[in-house]
């Protein structure tokens, strides 16, 4: 008897055919601004991969959050909120969102149940009629809406677009999210995983660090500062003592916005820096020395280089 047969007889070896089949694929999460897409991606991935704030259009480029559920690797593409564009940056974000949807294996439309199909959500439904990938409807914030209103909303949406399944969830509490993940793990194509098991995002750490600071900027100043402000990580130095020194620049379009970002006596920028440094230290699991600078860059929203920094295609015309 050969050595291979001995191993098999002892029950130690396994045949490749006996191994569970893996599934993997890309799920584009689309919806109107502030529908809760970033909150849901972070919930499903189980870690912070996309920034969240009260300010609309916070997500600018496609952020991929990677989740493992059962034997499936699910790559969520958190797309910018779809809305009626007014400026060049707006057009780039909306184009990015629809492009992400058309590149995915599945499309997941997230609707804020409180707002229903008013405004942008209705326009997105219309746009989905020309997208041929299988689609899933997810109604978010169900804890704030009466059950009969949820059923009516689901019926109206399914009459407009053919959805394969409808899920009712709360991205904040996690209610209904397990059923959603079970379904995605089952329906994604068979195949090897795209990313290492311990990877949760495809964002480079320098870019993720800039996104986290941008989140803290919006959380602190969302009523005063326009969302057109931008953060770039300019220096990243790993130090011998195990800490990291990070220098970032917050770009605004006018001197008046710079004063807002700095705050009286530098109060605002200090608070933003403290909050960002704390979260970055937790993510990196090492001490962080963060230095923030505020600079005025007029009309940066028309600079192709800035669009490339954000992972967006620069719209011509």
Annotation: binding site: 31-38, 78-82, 140-143
Helix 120-128 and helix 147-160: axis angle, to 10°?
Answer: 40
250 three-class SS: strand
Nearest to 250 by CA among 302, 303, 209: 209
Output the known binding site for GTP. 31-38, 78-82, 140-143
Nearest to 210 by CA among 279, 257, 296: 279
75 three-class SS: strand
Contact (Cβ atoms closer than 8 angstroms) between residue 90 and residue 57: yes
Residues 6+ apart with CB under 8 A from 171: 36, 39, 40, 43, 140, 141, 177
Q: What is the DSSP letter of 315?
A: P
């Amino acid at each position: 008897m050969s050595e291979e047969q001995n191993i098999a007889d002892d029950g130690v070896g396994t045949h490749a055919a006996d191994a569970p089949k893996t599934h993997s694929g890309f799920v584009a999460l689309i919806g109107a601004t502030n529908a809760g897409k970033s909150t849901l991606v972070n919930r499903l991935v189980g870690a912070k991969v996309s920034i969240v704030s009260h300010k609309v259009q916070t997500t600018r480029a496609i952020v991929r959050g990677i989740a493992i559920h059962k034997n499936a690797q699910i790559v969520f593409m958190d797309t910018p909120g779809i809305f009626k564009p007014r400026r060049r940056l707006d057009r780039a974000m909306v184009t990015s969102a629809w492009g992400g949807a058309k590149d995915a294996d599945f499309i997941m439309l997230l609707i804020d149940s409180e707002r229903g199909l008013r405004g942008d959500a209705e326009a997105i439904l219309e746009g989905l009629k020309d997208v041929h990938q299988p689609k899933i409807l997810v109604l978010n914030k169900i804890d704030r809406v009466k059950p009969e209103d949820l059923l009516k909303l689901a019926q109206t949406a399914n009459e407009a677009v053919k959805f394969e399944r409808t899920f009712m969830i709360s991205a904040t509490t996690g209610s209904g999210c397990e059923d959603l993940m079970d379904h995605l793990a089952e329906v994604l194509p068979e195949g090897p995983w795209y990313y290492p098991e311990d990877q949760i995002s495809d964002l480079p750490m320098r870019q993720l660090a800039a996104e986290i600071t941008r989140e803290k900027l919006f959380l602190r100043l969302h009523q005063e500062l326009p969302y057109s402000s931008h953060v770039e990580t300019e220096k990243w130095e790993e130090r011998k003592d195990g800490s990291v020194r990070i220098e970032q620049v917050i770009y605004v379009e006018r001197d008046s916005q710079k004063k807002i970002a700095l705050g009286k006596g530098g109060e605002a920028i200090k608070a933003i820096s403290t909050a960002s440094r704390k979260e970055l230290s937790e993510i990196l699991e090492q001490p962080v020395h963060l230095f923030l600078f505020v600079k005025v860059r007029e009309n940066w929203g028309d600079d192709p280089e800035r669009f490339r920094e954000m992972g967006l295609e620069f719209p011509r015309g």
